[in-house]
Structure 1
Amino acid sequence: MSEDFYSVLGVSQDAGEEEIKQAYREKASEYHPDVSDAPDAEEKFKQVQKAKEVLLDDEKRRMYDQMGHERFEQADKRGATDSGAGGMGGQGNPFGGGGGAGGMNDIFEQFFGGGSGGSQTGPRQGADLKTRLNIDLEDAYEGVTKQLTISRPERCPDCDGAGHPPDADANTCTACNGQGQQTTVRQTPLGRVQQAQTCRQCDGEGTIYSETCSTCRGEGQVREEATIQVDVPAGIHSGQTLRMEREGAPGENGGPKGDLLVEIQVEDIEAFERDGDDLQHRLAISFPQAVFGDTVEVPTLDGPVEMDIPAGTQSGETFRLRDEGMPRLQRRGYGNLFVKVQVVTPENLNEEQREALEAFAEAGGEEIDVEQGFFEKLKSSF
């Protein structure tokens, strides 16, 4: 028997919305595949997401409590098979995501006469919005606060989201007789089932108004620009998403705003290539430095550091500088900086340098043809 959704989140069956959301955030942070090293982290993360989705939806939670975990899961699988979708579970991550109900609603409607077509007259949270924010690698290393300007829907200031002027005449909707719902009765294998759906003529309000707001044209919302402060954590990767709570579209019927999902794009810089939490840097050194060894200065995102080049270093060798890479997001420590050295061949030599290098090659038993080129001959000896 799989673990029930309340146990997955570690909450009681009478837990409220805020308690469930807080438990979800903690569990999602613990099991997110980008953070956790546990072999079953991805599966646990999916369970946490599904538990959150079901327990925060009043209709799904009611069905879950009445059916029990096993029957609910069986119905979910059956609905997924019938629809070809992923059932009610859905997939996503702690910074965004979501899933569809598939064929599950048809099954639940047969049992309970409800589903997604039920009443929508209660408070509803606004839609989530998505945008993108570009930062450079230095910002991702340090963490940064950015000002982000977006265009988003806002509650209409002239009608306060009602969609009609305050002095408009209100008339009872004749389609639903002011109930906001239209009820149908149908025969199912379990008997006669009564199903309520939101009235399309009045959108569930039960009232028809003589005028619509000229500012929002009856929508109750207008688009406006908003400037938002985004705190980007150190160590973030390209493609990860930050969730800004209550910065999305306005809710309906007094419901809260949705969230704003900010996808982060980290732009590379010339000095470094990023590989997860590690950085790579190419360092040019001279032939004498490679032969005799030297102490060189290497750039890092936290300032230059010194690195020893051993005598006899070959071109293409890679050295590791511990903890000089990117900070590990939501974990302690840093990645590493890998320095790949490239021996640079000089293009021009003065007479003294040429004589010294010719003497070096001859001491090793090489015959030098100046016309051919000293370094072409020298390379073959290495």
Structure 2
Amino acid sequence: MSRDFYEVLGVSRDADEDAIKQAYRKKAAEYHPDVSDDPDAEEKFKQVKKAKEVLTDEDARSAYDRMGHEQYEQAEKRGYDASQGGQDPFGGMGGMGGGGQGSPFDDIFEQFFGGGGGGGRGRGGPRPGRDLRTGLTVDLEDAYFGTAKEMTVTRPEHCPDCDGHGHPEDAEAQTCPACEGRGQQVRVQQTPLGRVQQTTTCPQCEGEGTIYSETCDTCDGEGLVMEESTLTVDVPEGIRDGQTLRMEAEGAPGEPGARDGDLLVEISVESDERFERDGDDLYVTHPVSFPQAVFGDELEVETLDGTVSMDLPRGTQSGETFRLRNKGMPRLQRRGQGDLFVRVQVVTPEQMNDEQRDALEAFAEAGGEDIDVKEGFFEKIKNSL
């Protein structure tokens, strides 16, 4: 059983977005399946990621706080998407076929002036499908070259037994008594600014103006059932961590005659042990020997697209950084690439043969250094660098 999202991240319920993101980074590093020894690391990592997604989305967090953990998860399983705006799907609005508890697939939480929230039907028209969200993890090389990834999603589909209508074909149609067939209800409220007239979609017939004598047993009148689907996601070159891809018409289906929603895929780019990424630029550390740093050399530097040659100038100091232009990440939907920054790290030898020791001793004496070679020379060389 999943846990409360605030508890998963270890933050208070009034934590701001920065605190939530900081807690997420810490927990994600702890439970990442590639580094954690915890047998439940993969599941914990998924919970941490889900908690961050919900609590850093203003609409989703508001819905989560209002509904509570269990009811929010139940709503999501039925296709509810808080980021589209809306009240919880168990808010008591009538279901298809007349009366009863509200449909979890409904666009509810009506706006102050007018009909339902995002994705709601127009006057007398079929309701379009809502957008759905999911996540996909790729590695840095996938983000560099671009890739096609298969993923499995569980999403609403039109009920195969009623073709999404929510009732048997031979069910008797009746004019909705709540709205007298108009599909809408008018409510007048007295406010400090005066009388306000609000037109809303009829909750009993869901704007159709018609109710039916029977509902479909397979979908309980919803017109939708949850099905598992395998999709191919085209990940473009240069995608960044946290960016979202839109797959048109792969979200929740609309009512018959209306467009389907889209599937929004948030991309997570895994960290790479070789390279650090900053936007479109990459950073890599390259070890060199003391003689290479003194005399200069031609280095073979690793990039994500093979090795390239780089001239190391004489007298290079440990920690110096060199720029290799256009060797970083491709620029998403733009021409060119970022740069690769090469940090040079001079490696101090831990063991030497007699010939190497004599040479370094001569080097020290030539420089006028009066030191104890056996006990302190290498430490002093290391400190001087």
> TM above 0.5, one fold?
yes
2:348 and 2:382 in contact (8 A); partners too: no
* Percent of residue pairs bearing the same amino acid type: 69
**Cα distance in structure 2, aligned partners of 1:380 and 1:216:** 74
Q: What runs of 5+ residues in structure 2 fail to find an aligned partner? A: 1-82, 87-109
**Aligned with 1:306 (options 300, 303, 309):** 309
Per the alignment, residue 156 of structure 2 pairs with 153
The 2-side partners of 1:239 and 1:193 are apart by: 42
Whether 1:172 aligns to 2:175 is yes
Note if 1:225 corresponds to 2:233: no
Q: CA deviation at 1:358?
A: 0.7
The whole-number CA distance in structure 2 between the counterparts of 1:262 and 1:309 is: 43
Match of 1:360 in 2: 363
Q: Distance in 2 between matches of 1:318 and 1:348?
A: 27
CA distance 1:211–1:322, shift in 2 (3 Å): same
Label 1:363 to 1:284 Cα distance change in 2 as closer, same or farther (>3 A). Answer: same
How far apart are the structure 2 equivalents of 1:193 and 1:273?
57
Shift of 1:196: 4.9
Q: Which residue of 1 is the match for residue 318 of structure 2?
A: 315
Whether 1:343 and 2:346 are equivalent positions in the alignment is yes
Q: What's the counterpart of residue 102 of structure 2?
A: none
Q: Pick closer, same or farther for the CA change 1:278–1:182 going to 2, 3 Å.
A: closer
Consecutive unaligned residues of structure 1, counting only runs of 5 or more, are 1-96
Farther off after superposition, 131-140 or 119-128: 119-128
**CA separation of 1:105/1:211 partners in 2, compared to 1, >3 Å: closer, same or farther?**
closer
TM-aligned CA distance change 1:371 to 1:207, over 3 Å: same
Please show how residues 12-23 of structure 1 align to structure 2 within 5 Å: none
Q: CA RMSD in A?
A: 3.0
1:273 aligns with 2:276: yes
1:254 correspondence with 2:254: no
Kindly state the Cα deviation for residue 199 of structure 1 after the two structures are TM-superposed: 2.6
Shift of 1:254: 2.1
Partner Cα separation in structure 2 for residue 270 and residue 194 of structure 1: 61
Q: Does 1:200 align with 2:182?
A: no
Give the conservation status (yes or no) of the 8 Å contact 2:115–2:199: no
Indicate yes or no: 2:241 matched with 1:238. Answer: yes
* Distance in 2 of aligned mates of 1:121 and 1:198: 10
CA contact (8 A) 2:297 2:313 kept: yes
Q: Distance in 2 between matches of 1:256 and 1:135?
A: 30
Q: Report the AA paired with residue 325 of structure 1.
A: G
TM-score (norm 2): 0.65
1:1-382 equivalences under 5 Å are 116=116, 120-183=123-186, 196-379=199-382
TM-score (norm 1): 0.66
Which secondary structure state, in structure 2, belongs to the residue aligned with residue 279 of structure 1?
A: strand
- Deviations 1:204-246 (CA, angstroms, capped at 9, x unpaired): 2333323221111111100111111211111111111111111
- Provide the rounded CA distance (Å) in 2 between the counterparts of 1:192 and 1:275: 55
